[in-house]
Chains A and B, each alone.
Chain A
Amino acid sequence: MTAEFIAKLDVQDLSLKFADKTVLQHINLRIPEHKITAFIGPSGCGKSSLLRSFNRMNELLEDTQTTGEVLLDGKNIYHSEIEVAELRRRVGIVFQKPNPFPHSVYENVAFGLRLQGIKQARQLDELVESALRKAALWDEVRDRLHDSAVNLSGGQQQRLVIARAIAIEPEVLLLDEPASALDPISTLKIEELMYDLKQHYTLVIVTHNMQQAARVSDYTAFLNMGQLIEFDETNKMFTDPSQRATEDYITGRFG
């Protein structure tokens, strides 16, 4: 685990409890900048909770208790002076089920921009187009920008949600099972999109699909029962992991 990189996020001794249940135990992990890091592990291992701790989404649930620190560019996001709304602008998230707003394609992307105070139509047009291009969706929707987003296919909706997330220029993009509700071809399109996006953003993906982690990520973290078992370059993790538990999991011997 002697990987050399600049850490965008630095998790230090992070533990998380939901009521009496311990979800994460003393996690220490550095997330490299401008790379894709995948979290893998069996259901309930805490990978989604760890992801959500990066933009303080766990606090939306009742009775949660977080200890330890998560540093974003060296600053603890759990510090009392941190504004959560600003944090969530910097650290965007995309969920498993595409959740476009029931408005037009255009409005879905423009929404966050308007919240940021951008009102000029021309500027909005440009930013919407740029976000849709980055999300590799522009060519498919350019002629139907004012149709309802709900009419898009699942794969298109998911790319729209990604466009919405990147329109407000986040630094980190969290993806929680972004392709598990999609068909294989749409899945590959999302993966290719992630590969393009990592030039500008730091991406963290939670996936149940180990092959997806292998295909798409530069680094992989394997979690089990709330603990980080192993973190390494994906090339290493999928050809020669150091931990027996990782080997067993990725070769389908347990979990």
Chain B
Amino acid sequence: MDKLNLSKHISSQFNEEIEQVRNHVMAMGGLIERQLFDALEAIANSDSELAQQVIQNDLKVNDWELQIDQECTRIIAKRQPAASDLRLIMAILKTIADLERIGDETRRIAKVALESFNSAQQDLLVNLDNLGRHVGQMLHDVLDAFARMDVEAALTVHKEDKKVDREYESITRQLMTYMIEDPRSIPKIMNVLWSARSLERIGDRCKNLSEYIIFFVKGKVVRHSSEETLEKEARS
């Protein structure tokens, strides 16, 4: 791991604090990845128990955010991190805020599993599942890139978001067509539409996470820049 020099401080305690906060981010990310996977499983199998569990577990996600937040505050107050250490702490603070929101979206998605659908509607859920798996892979990849602070992997995730957006648009069209044909289904299908929207938002947040990795490694702020600029900065 130590191409990043995170454990090269004279103060071994500082090394431990940084190591710990990074491990906690990974643990939080791992939990959220599991949550998203469970939410999709719950929808695919109409498993309302699993869905309830996902909704419950979101409290754990929130606890992680509070804890990591506090750890970062202490590091800033006690260590006055500079340069790459400061960028790491800033990147972590932003990362956990986005992860917490991904947690909220996941909880929303799980709620779809609490509804009952007829067989025609079940077919629509297959497309939602595909979108979900795609986004889940993005989340997995970006967390992996965070663990290794791998800029190339972060760039790959960043580009993936375009495909997710297109997939989302196609699902939206399909759901709208269905609602036009069967207006009584609108309340139910709206929920499906909202969870497709949630998945699309998770994709956006994964994109944010990849930008924080580039910020940490390269020291360049690449938020709100064009795809070309971003790529240029990341590879500079």
Contact = CB atoms under 8 A, between A and B. Distances in A.
The 8 A-B residue pairs with the shortest CB-CB distance, nearest first, are: A188-B10, A214-B78, A238-B77, A239-B77, A195-B13, A192-B11, A192-B10, A235-B74
Nearest to B13: A195
30 contacts: A185-B10, A188-B9, A188-B10, A188-B11, A189-B10, A191-B10, A191-B11, A192-B10, A192-B11, A192-B12, A192-B13, A195-B12, A195-B13, A211-B80, A214-B77, A214-B78, A214-B79, A214-B80, A215-B11, A215-B14, A215-B78, A215-B79, A234-B78, A235-B74, A235-B78, A238-B74, A238-B77, A238-B78, A239-B73, A239-B77
Main SS of chain A's interface residues?
helix
Interface residues of A, number: 13
Contacts of A238: 74, 77-78
Contacts of B77: 214, 238-239
Interface string A231-251: 000110011000000000000
Main SS of chain B's interface residues?
helix
In this complex, the interface size class of chain B, counting residues with CB under 8 Å from chain A, is: 10 to 19
Contacts, number: 32
Contacts of A188: 9-11
Interface of A: 185, 188-189, 191-192, 195, 211, 214-215, 234-235, 238-239
Interface in B56-90: 73-74, 77-80
Interface in B17-37: none
Nearest to B80: A211
Given A211-B80, A215-B79, A239 B74 contact: yes
Nearest to B74: A235
